[in-house]
Structure 1
């Protein structure tokens, strides 16, 4: 059995060799663990650094979040304060609006009362106009108007005579120039200072001194109104030239309107001249009655204009009630403007009432 023993020895030897080679090739366990520990320490250090960085980042984010929260709270408080201020302002504006509306109502009521007073004064004026004294004054005024027309005709005759004399003088001067031209060259013309020809129209018979002064006043008034008419004509021509320079051409209808306005101005001038002449020639009672009638007519026209203004203000008040809801400041401004207009109309009504009361006292 020696062969079996050799085989066993060979197997054992082979096994030992194999184990030796494996032990030689395999690293030691301690070295591997040391390497792993170093790797783990490095990883641990890196993780610690990352954790520290993350902690710092978390702290910064916490600070940012705290600031954002503080800003949010601050904005919230500011918003609440602004809303509270807006509510207070709205309540104040509503109170002002209510107060202004009450003032407007009171003003409208006051204007209605003033209208009633004015109507009462109208009735008094109508009663004053229907008295017998006014009829007598009107008859006297008509007589004075007829006399004044006579004086005006006489003045026109005098003006016509003056123009004729001027024309004759011009013709005589022309004839004199022609005679001088026809004289021989060696003829010496005597030098004389020319004397202006004085034209003295013969005054009418049985003419008193006040009538002469009246005629002089009338002549001065006529000259003044002629200057006014010439000025109006000049303004009309300047207006026409300015319109034509701007390329605006007047139509025939516009020219007719301007002519009508010119005629109306002439009529107004004539009426003013009549009134001036009447005031110069009337007695005290007739002058007072004429001034009274004139003031009554003027006040009636003014009252009609003021009635129109009051109706317009009433319509504006109705329109203001129908205005849709908008910004409160604009509504307050509109109400303030309407109140100012009503105050002005009331002041004017008071002045007219005072004037009418004075006239009714006369």
Structure 2
């Protein structure tokens, strides 16, 4: 129970002197916590209404019964009401949240102490374990704790094989099929999001390679590289070091094959020559200097597009994504702060 003093002369005392804890409360003895009425009323709107609703006893005190939680949890809750909002992050506050985090979360939700509820929610979420994650998930739904709910769901999806062996999972399978369905739906959605993210990352890597291949093709046809390209005397890469493009070697093999292949004019054609043809066409769609461009067939492809007057939507989308990947790559090569670099690596899926 918690009592609130109504005497005016007790309001100015220090919070530590306003709390009195019984030394040896017996198992059948009612535990009493004496506290100031005005302090609790200002901390909780629910307690304020309860304090003024209950009648005054003979010794000018009001009695509020807080049932369903341990006495020490109630004592810690009253201490938090007397403390500042930063008390949750203190050493004593963290110890109290570690011992009675679940009970403090329930009390702060029931009595609408929002700042304490946020602190308890973060503390309970930071100490989640697989054995009790289902119970904490149920508690998060009852106490309207979205952060704790999301953390529980992520832990369930991460280690579902261990969760299904816990007692909490067996309980909800027998008594709460709606929560079981909600958990299974979340796991399925998380798996779909992971697969979709992996596909998007694979597509992004493909567009990145195509953008780099366009730069490499421009480089080979302009200044030359190793044994391919318009160079005089010693090949450029032998005098300037290895090429910096990852796709350079494969692109040179395609160019050399396309120059000597005898199947490119046959009815079935050659798959490697068709791939080289598509790269030339992609370059012509991206090139912004067609008059001075030295890449083969660049002008011819652009003239054909202008004569036809329309471009396939799929091809237009491919060109747009390759251009976007090239812009993102150029931005990534610039010097940037360490935090932005970490975000970019996380976006690329690199730890």
Q: TM-score, normalised by structure 1?
A: 0.21
More helix by share: 1
Instruction: Compare CA radii of gyration and give the structure with the larger one.
Output: 1
